[in-house]
């Protein structure tokens, strides 16, 4: 079945760029998402990209999609302490009931 994989941890220095990577298995995924989860809170949608796009930029966030390699990345420019969180990659086919989540990448920021 569909699978979404991410590395579990990433540590970056404050002010540097963070790049969180994700791979998915099903090429029929139509939407790919990035969610952020802060401690003790639910998931918050950061951004999503449609599968016919290569890139989407929103302020400090850049999403890159390599559909051939089924690889998605989230780049956070000028990483701040407030960016510390778990970031989930997710893929869907057609509806919210078909969203498959990755296991999440814990981003920690060091001074």
Partner 1 sequence: NAGVTQTPKFQVLKTGQSMTLQCAQDMNHEYMSWYRQDPGMGLRLIHYSVGAGITDQGEVPNGYNVSRSTTEDFPLRLLSAAPSQTSVYFCASSSSGTSTDTQYFGPGTRLTVL
Which whole-number Å values give the CA distances from 98 to 48, 52, 90, in the listed order? 15, 19, 10
Site for partner 1 in 39-98 (CB under 8 A): 40-45, 48, 88, 90, 92-98
With CB under 8 A, what is the number of residues at the site for partner 1? 26
Count of beta carbons in the 10 Å neighbourhood of residue 102? 24
Residue 50 or 78: the one with the smaller Cβ distance to partner 1 is 50
Q: Is 70 left (phi over 0), alpha (psi -120 to 50) or beta?
A: left
Quick check: 27 binds partner 1 (CB under 8 A)? Answer: no
Cα angle 8, 108, 24; round to 5:
30
CB of 8 to partner 1, least distance (A): 7
34 binds partner 1 (CB under 8 A): no
Q: Is 31 in the site for partner 1 (CB under 8 A)?
A: yes
Q: What is the CA radius of gyration of the chain?
A: 13
The smaller minimum CB distance to partner 1, of residues 80 and 94, is found at 94
Q: Which residues bind partner 1 (CB under 8 A)?
A: 4, 8, 30-31, 40-45, 48, 88, 90, 92-104
């Amino acid at each position: 079945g569909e699978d979404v994989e991410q590395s579990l941890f990433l540590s970056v220095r404050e002010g540097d760029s963070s790049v969180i990577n994700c791979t998915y298995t099903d090429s029929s995924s139509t939407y790919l998402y990035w969610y952020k989860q802060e401690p003790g809170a639910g998931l918050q949608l950061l951004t999503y990209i449609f599968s016919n796009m290569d890139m989407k930029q929103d302020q400090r966030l850049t999403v890159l999609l390599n559909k051939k390699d089924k690889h998605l990345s989230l780049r956070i420019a000028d990483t701040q302490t407030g960016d510390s969180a778990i970031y989930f990659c997710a893929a869907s086919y057609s509806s919210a009931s078909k969203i498959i989540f990755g296991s999440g990448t814990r981003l920690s920021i060091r001074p």
